[in-house]
Amino acid sequence: MVTTTSVVGAGLLTWWRYLDHHTTRPDSLDQIVQAAPPELRTAAFILADPAQTNIMFEALKLGSREHGFPHVVAWGYTDHGIDAEVQLLGGQKPGDWTNDDTTATLATYFAVPEVTVVSTEPSHVRIQVRTFDVLGETIDATAPAPAPVVKVVTAASVGVDLESIPVGVTELGVSWRVRILYSHILVAGATGSGKGSVLWSMLDGLGPAIRAGLVDVWMADPKGGAEFGRGENRLFVRFAVDSESILAMLKEAVEVMRERLARMRHDGLRKLVPTTDEPLIVIIIDEAASLSSYATREEQNEFRRLSGLLLSQGRAAAVTVVAALQDPSKETMPNRQLFPVRIGLRLDEPTQTAMVHGQGARDRGARCDKISEDTPGVGYVGEDGTTGFVRVRAFWVDNDAANAIVDAYSPAQPDTAPAADYSGFDPDDLGDEGGVAA
């Protein structure tokens, strides 16, 4: 028989954050359920009562009276619903909890649209009861900033941290920032997943530094310039649209990188700090598969050689590669492991998540194949040195916003207007011949 007179343990740790501060802290199951938001009352009823939790675990074959039950260490309300920290039984593995059948059954028990399970640390998982997608609405990019008046041009003086560029927001409601300097970034996502908005958001964040000459963007747009042509000869220092010109651009970048590395070696430098004389070079390759898989065999080999050199040697020399592609297989991006930052947007297959984020990524929370087609720009970010993933949404950048970025941040172009013809000018003629000077 279920008791409603008391509640055991850590389930009460954080629930009161979302109640009025004058509300008396409940000490019974009935009070907890009544205090819960209506759509979460079933989940609160189950999580607040160990007897109900154990019934659910037994039905899911995740515990039994004979062998014991997992322990709900703590649970509390979040912006998306409820998070519950669970300690596993000995012998269980995260995959027993994170598979689609288990999460679907948990959603049925909790009477909510979706449940996700994330492996957080050894022997623990986090059950995420979701009733609201905090990233469900598009987020417009901010208006381009006016040019500051500075005497000495540095990244700080123009208001840009090249190692922390704002690109969107995270599921926790804080700014999603991406390291551009001393990094390489892989963006993978199916058609319509929002790759363009991610790239334009990066350009928006870099904008003041581009305008100041601290960042040079070299753009490869194999789609003939359909996506990024508006920035040709304006926002981009180099712009290439076919295999031949893209490979030539990458070859030039390798030469520049080698020259920088040689000087750094001579001067005893480990990292190059961008200046207007030696700016950060950001090489953006949209639809990289057009060169790595769909070009001629010779072009494929050359692309893999040049991109491999840039990815393996470019970071210290302030040469960054940002590659975007639809299919993240080894054939389309053979140097995937050389990208320290990997952004997985909506993907078609569960196996593609592992191609972007590595084996076990789904168990650790990256569910790129579960992202809705209605939320372009939503994705999971993984970085070298971390085991978890951050769910994010990039700013939405439409055509008008992209044009505004180009107009606001394109460096001043030299005046190429034809000069007036002064070939007949006589410096001794004061205009007073035959009369009084004017």
| Average confidence (pLDDT) per 10 residues, the chain, 438 residues | 31 37 60 92 95 95 94 94 95 92 96 93 93 91 77 82 96 94 96 96 97 97 88 96 94 98 96 96 91 84 94 97 88 82 95 91 91 96 90 95 96 64 59 47
Which DSSP state fits 24?
A: P
> CA-to-CA distance for 314 and 184, rounded, in angstroms?
9
pLDDT at 127: 96
CA 18 to chain CA centroid, Å, is: 29
pLDDT at 427: 57
Ramachandran category for residue 405: left, alpha or beta (phi over 0 → left; psi -120 to 50 → alpha): alpha
List, as own/partner pairs, every contact residues 397-401 make where C-beta atoms lie below 8 angstroms and the sequence separation is at least 24, other chains included: 397/141, 397/196, 397/197, 397/200, 397/201, 397/204, 401/140, 401/141, 401/200, 401/204
How long is the chain?
Answer: 438
| Residues facing residue 125 across a β-bridge | 86, 119
Which DSSP state fits 64?
A: B
pLDDT at 213: 96
**For helices 195-212 and 399-409, what crossing angle results, to 10°?**
20
CB burial readout 289-307, b (16+ within 10 A) else e: bbbbbebeeebbebbeebb
pLDDT at 16: 36
